[in-house]
Structures are given as C-alpha cells and as structure tokens.
Structure 1
C-alpha cells in the first residue's frame, strides 16, 4: 500500500518525526513518499533564525509535496508544528491547494493521521491535531490515531498523535519510537480496510 508522509518543519523537529514515521511505515511493508511542503516565509525571516536557516539547507534533498502525493496515497500522515494551537500556515496552504481533489471525491475513504510539536508542553499540541482532524472530516477520511494501544503511547501521553516539546531539545528515542508506532498502526489499519473492501 502507498503511504504519504507530508510535513512542514522549520527547525528540524517535525523533519525528525516524519523520518521516523517513514521508517515505521516502510518496516510495516508500505511504499512511502516522504514529502515536505513548500516554505512560504521570506528569506529575511529564515536567515534571522540560525536553526531555521540551517534546517532549510539540511533538508534541501527532501522532495516538495504536491497534491499528486495525496492522490497516490492510500494513507497520509500529516506533520506540523503548532502555530497558536493550529497547523502551520505552510501546511494549511498545501491542504487548501487540495480542493480540486476534494471536489473530485479523491480524498474520501483514505486513512489520515497527524503528529506535531510545540515550543512548550501546553503549546497547543492536541488542538493542532484536532484542527487537522476537522479537515479530515470534511474530506470524508478515516482518522487513525495511536490512542493508548501500545506501551510507548503511555510514555508519551498523547493518544491524538505523536507530539514533541521542542523546548526540551530534539525528539527523544521514545518520541521517535512513538512516531514509528503511529505509522505502523496507520499501515495495519489501511491494510485491513483494503482487504475488507476487496472481499
């Protein structure tokens, strides 16, 4: 099955979570497209934050997402930092560009899941994932959260989707393991749905 992992990352935290999710999906047997959305911030803003400027260079080899990646996928995991409890403008702009697929009914019946990071522990992680879920409802998607279905989720404490506190430094091994698990759960659920539809 085909899994797209589409994310926005300014300083690298979401990039690390997305790569872990890609690894988890591949190990579960999926064909994976790891894609970043286009950067919309002006160069002056990026250059003013050294970690942001460095990450732009470090992720230059990651292919930029297109709506074809969603059309291709049986399941999509979206990753975004929180922006005042909402997805980043960059990811939202990409989602808004998928309107033509929505009108054609090509976004329905796919599996969707989300992961995030915020600067602080109460920085809007859950509301960001819930805001993305509003999009999935409109698309007619099937939302697959990690829940508390694996011991790693009990350690991370977020049943909505993998989340990270950027103020604590880079994602820990436990957080990366949670992202891998979330992707494996998405793959397993998507496989079950595909098998059920085939019979």
Structure 2
C-alpha cells in the first residue's frame, strides 16, 4: 500500500504538517509512505524578497512530484497553503497537467485527503480544502476527511487549526507562528486515518 504526500510550502509550515502526516501514515502496517513537493514557480529572487528562501532550504532535499507520483499511489494526501480560499498556483500547476490522467481515469478510486495553512485564524482554511475536494472529485477519488473521533479539533483552550475537512495550522501574517503540538497531532491522526482507510480499500 503506497501513500504519497504531496505538498507546497513557502515558509515551512505545510512541510512540518506533511512530516507529521507521514509519521501517522507510517504507523499503519504495510504502508509505504513518501513525501514530495510540487515544483516552485517563484524565482529565488522573489522568494528572497518574501523572506522564504531560507525556509525553502530546510526541505530542499524533498523530491519534486511528477504525474507518476499521483498514479503510483493508492492514497494521496495533499498539503497547500491557502491563497484567497483556494490552493496555491504551484499546486494548481500540478493538477492542470493531469488532463490525460483524467481522460484515462487513472486516479479513479484512489483515496485523497487535504491539509492546509493560512496566515489568520479564519483565512480560508475550510474553503481551501473544500475547493481542493472539487478537483479530487473530478478525478473520481475517494475523499477522506478528519472525523470527530479526532477530538483535538474541538479544543477551545487555545487557538488551533483542524476541522472535519482536514488538519491545518495558522502561520500569522509574517509567518512567525509555528504549528502547535495540537495541530501537529491532528496532522498525525489524519495521516494514520487515511492510511487505515486506504489499507481497507486495497485489501
């Protein structure tokens, strides 16, 4: 059972969640879990001006996703920051190249799940994941969210990401806030949950 996690991250928040998701997925017996990043479309000059170049170097060792990364997996977990309530252009670029996969039905029946981040507490986290689901549904994928058995998403004693749609974190407008333990634990749960469901379907 192969689980591929594909993410886009500028300041490392989504990458941290991706690692937590992977840790959870690897707890499921028989899982082969791999992490990939989408190709960055911004130049190093732009990344440096945004203050993201140094952050990008922390996960520069992660291989770049290709269309084979999508087709070879039984379960796919995507991580993207929110851009005006939708996935980033970098993540969109990957999916805009999947026309042939769609025509062939190559992703039909595969498990799909999404996690995200935003600058503010109500910065479009839920809409980003729901909009992402639309693309997965067009590919015929089976969407897995985050059930309320993961009760950490209901905590009220701290500001935290996490919803029935997927794990998330809040980065703050300047990117200074890092994922909390609660948010990382939610991401860990999501990875394990997706892997467990994928295993049942593969068997």
Distance 2:107 2:57 in 1: 32
CA RMSD between the two structures = 1.2
Equivalent residues of 2:117, 2:168 under 8 A apart: yes
CA shift, 1:66, in A, is 0.7
Task: Supply the distance in 2 between the matched residues of 1:194 and 1:153 (Cα, whole angstroms).
Answer: 28
Distance 2:82 2:134 in 1: 15
Residue number in structure 1 paired with 2:54: 54
1: CA distance, partners of 2:78 / 2:191: 11
Structure 1, residues 73-98: CA drift from partner, whole Å, max 9, x if none?
Answer: 00000000000000000001011112
**Larger helix proportion of the pair:** 1
TM-score, length of structure 1 as denominator length: 0.94
* Maintained 8 Å contact 1:147/1:153: no
In the other structure, the counterpart of 2:93 is 93
User: In structure 2, what is the Cα distance between the partners aligned to 1:132 and 1:9?
Assistant: 16
> C-alpha displacement at 1:59, in angstroms?
1.3
Question: Which residue of the partner structure matches residue 158 of structure 2?
Answer: none
Deviation at 1:157, TM superposition (A): 4.8
Conserved? CA contact 2:6–2:36, under 8 Å: yes
Q: Aligned with 1:178: secondary structure? A: helix
Name the counterpart of 1:181. 189
Give the match's secondary structure for 2:91.
Answer: helix
Do residues 35 (structure 1) and 40 (structure 2) align?
A: no
Distance 2:45 2:25 in 1: 36
For residue 141 of structure 2, what is the aligned residue in structure 1?
A: 141
**Is the contact between residue 7 and residue 18 of structure 1 (CA under 8 Å) also seen in structure 2?**
yes
Contact 1:12/1:55 (<8 A) preserved? yes
Q: Which runs of 5+ in 2 are unaligned?
A: 156-160
Asked if 1 retains the 8 angstrom alpha-carbon contact of 2:25 and 2:191, the reply is yes
